[in-house]
A and B are shown apart, each in its own frame.
Chain A
Amino acid sequence: GAGVSQSPSNKVTEKGKDVELRCDPISGHTALYWYRQSLGQGLEFLIYFQGNSAPDKSGLPSDRFSAERTGGSVSTLTIQRTQQEDSAVYLCASSSRRASTDTQYFGPGTRLTVL
């Protein structure tokens, strides 16, 4: 595709439910990142995938958060037993990682609201 796409654009859920957020990176990009943006805050790194390497999960806030990337393309971020503090915009970015100067391109984000 022309850019990074994410779905759904908005998700409202009840506390305790599980949610899945999807990211379609730019075709050919080997690196994929998930970030979280809370209201009025900057972006916070969550997880990074690069090719077939083990992901960098150092930013995941708790074991309720997990992510996978199937076939080196589409990624799904799963939040189990959602809490109100999980409410935020979840942004995905991808890059080609062909050089140290590669650029991360962001999707429009998924706005998650936990009631």
Chain B
Amino acid sequence: GQQLNQSPQSMFIQEGEDVSMNCTSSSIFNTWLWYKQDPGEGPVLLIALYKAGELTSNGRLTAQFGITRKDSFLNISASIPSDVGIYFCAGSGGATNKLIFGTGTLLAVQP
């Protein structure tokens, strides 16, 4: 199935460092979403972006909806051990609002 290009694939960082990950697509989306998935759980929504150029924050998380509507980034500031997990971007649009997911970024945070 169709997937977004998400990078990096994995990140291994020290506690307190900032993190940045991004997604690109060949298609335009009306909505960009960022999810976090812990082992054995379903994805949990972190941030939703609905307008091109929109910059939204949720605590230590900041995400932006690219002007071209074909890309988005997620920043995590001052990482903590509980940030560990897999982060997925997702784009949606069209009548069904079905989500097209990125390939995921595995984040490991060393205390």
Measured CB to CB, the residues of A under 8 A from B are 4, 31, 33, 35, 40-45, 48, 50, 56, 59, 91, 93, 95, 97, 100-109
Contact = CB atoms under 8 A, between A and B. Distances in A.
Given A41-B103, A44-B101, A56 B96 contact: yes
Contact of A4 (B3, B42, B45, B98): B42
B3 A101 contact: no
Given A42-B88, A43-B88, A106 B43 contact: yes
B97 interface: yes
B59 interface: no
A63 B90 CA distance: 26
A50 B42 CA distance: 21
Given A42-B88, A48-B96, A59-B98, A109 B42 contact: yes
B41 A43 contact: no
A108 to B, nearest CB: 5
A2 B31 CA distance: 25
Contacts of A4: 42
B43 A43 contact: yes
A82 B25 CA distance: 33
B40 interface: yes
B101 A43 contact: yes
A108 B31 CA distance: 23
A67 to B, nearest CB: 14
Given A41-B103, A101-B31, A108 B3 contact: no
Contact of A103 (B3, B41, B45): B45
A106 B33 CA distance: 13
A97 B97 CA distance: 9
A42 B45 contact: no
Interface string B46-66: 001010000000000000000
Interface centre among A43, A56, A100, by most B CB within 10 Å? A43
B43 A56 contact: no
